[in-house]
Every structure is written in structure tokens, then in C-alpha cells.
Amino acid sequence: MSVEQPVLQVSHLGISFGGLKAVSDFNIEIGKSELYGLIGPNGAGKTTVFNLLTGVYKPTEGAFFLNGEKMNGKKTHQVVQEGIARTFQNIRLFKKMTALENVKVAMNMKMKYSLVAAAFRLPSYWAQEAEIDAKARELLEVVDLGDKADVIAQNLPYGQQRRLEIARALATGMKLLLLDEPAAGMNPTETAELLDIINVIRKKFNISVLLIEHDMSLVMKICEKIQVIDYGETIAFGTPEEIAINPRVIEAYLGKEDE
């Protein structure tokens, strides 16, 4: 057992939609800078777990904690403020804004100047603006988009849009990053770049990551622990090596031999 309290602690979390249990008795503990994988067949409940952890859905059972503080019951913007950020299965950016503007918008909630200062463009506003600009450019550098600051988001190639999403998540000052199939639709080069960025984020920013990913080789390569769900239930948890030979996991993915 680690001495430090986990960044994310999830305890018996669950939700039903009209009687159907989409996720039930979900438990996980993720420590600082750790990278865990969440896998399972289509419709298993993976994205629903993310929707629970980000306050999009209200759990019908259980609780979850960020650095020991209870999070369920909080609204999405509150959860983000506390430090849980996500990227989406389908990219969500402000398509007509530049890369830099996308990051700055995400930083907005962290601005300290008052509305009055902003309205009258007082010196404190400009000082903060300059600081935000510099910080946003720094975050673009982290995801290797330093030279793309002024490009309109929708004109960036797919892999770069994915990375811009990560820069936006970083801009919220998060402690835990939830990545929903970030490598979907990426070519091998883009996927390799993504891997590097995930590692930079963990090491440079001490951020913990929970990763949903269909690309099994990717999950096996980078995750320290993997949790497998099927029909909303956890069927396995362990190291990549343990998961790869787990009969229940093999069955969930490939079906029973007699089927």
C-alpha cells in the first residue's frame, strides 16, 4: 500500500438507465503520475465511467474522491475546477478559433483579474492577459504545437487536433486526465507522438491518467495497470501481462469457443 493518498479513488460507483445497469460496482485507485487503462468491448460502459467521473451523469450508487475530496454531486464545471479533465471520443474543439485561442478559453476559469478590471482594461487585466498568452503558448509547446498557435483548429490535421485537446485539458490545471480513445483514427506515427506526449504530461506535470483505448497493443505497452469491464461489470484488473492471459478477458473479447 502506498503512503500517499490516491489521486482518484472510486468506490462502488454505478448507474442505471431505465433499469439497465450501464456501470455497476466500479472501483479503482490511481496514484500520482500513474497511468491506468480502462478497456472492454463496445458498449461495456467505459465512456459512461468517464461521464460519471466528470459529473455529466449522477451516480445511482457509490462515490468517488479526488485527493480525498468527495466529487460526486458536483457539476461538471466544478469537477473540472477541482482537477479532473477529459478529452472526448469525438473531438470537441472550438473549430473556428485558433489553436492558441482554444487553449486560452480553457484557461479562462483560472483568470484572477476582476470583471471591472477586464471591462475597463486596467493594467491588472493586461498583465494577466500577457501571462495567459505566454502560458498558453507554453502548453502548445508541450504537445508539439508551438508553431501552430495561429492555425484555425479545424484546419489542423486530425492527430494535431487530438493534441490540441490535450493542451486544453492541461490548461484547466488538472490533476487527473481522462482520455477516451485518443488514438482512434491516428496513424502509427501520430500514435507514437501521442504516447510521448502522455509521458511528458505525467512526468513534467505529475498528472495521473486514465486511458480508454481500443488499440490493445498501445494499452499493453504504456499502462501500469489495466481494468477490464464488460456489461458494466469489472471482470479483471491487473498488469498488462496478467490481463493478456486472463481467461475472462479473452472470452469477453473473442467469445466462448462453443459460440
Residues near ligand ATP (CB under 6 A): 17, 22, 40, 42-48, 89
47 counts as binding Mg ion under rule CB under 5 A: yes
In the complex, least distance from residue 140 CB atom to ligand ATP, rounded to whole angstroms: 29
- Determine, following the binding rule CB under 5 A, whether residue 54 of this chain makes contact with Mg ion: no
Binding track over 195-234 against Mg ion, x by CB under 5 A: ----------------------------------------
* Residue 157 contacts which entry, Mg ion, ligand ATP, none (Cβ below 5-8 A, type-dependent): none
Task: Based on the shown chain and the rule CB under 5 A, indicate whether residue 87 belongs to the binding site for Mg ion.
Answer: no
| Window of 41-49, 96-104, 143-151, 246-254 that interacts with Mg ion by CB under 5 A | 41-49
Q: Spell out the alpha helix ranges (H) of the chain.
A: 46-53, 76-82, 99-107, 115-119, 123-142, 158-171, 188-205, 216-222, 240-244, 247-254
Query: Residue 112: how many CB atoms within 10 A of its CB?
Result: 9
Q: Which among ligand ATP, Mg ion, none contacts residue 48 (Cβ within 5 to 8 A by kind)?
A: ligand ATP
How far is the CA of 83 from the CAs of 3, 44, 111, 121, in angstroms?
Answer: 21, 26, 16, 29
Q: Which helix (H) or strand (E) holds 177?
A: strand 176-180
Within 10 Å of residue 126's Cβ, how many Cβ atoms?
A: 12
**Residues within the interface to Mg ion (CB under 5 A):** 46-47
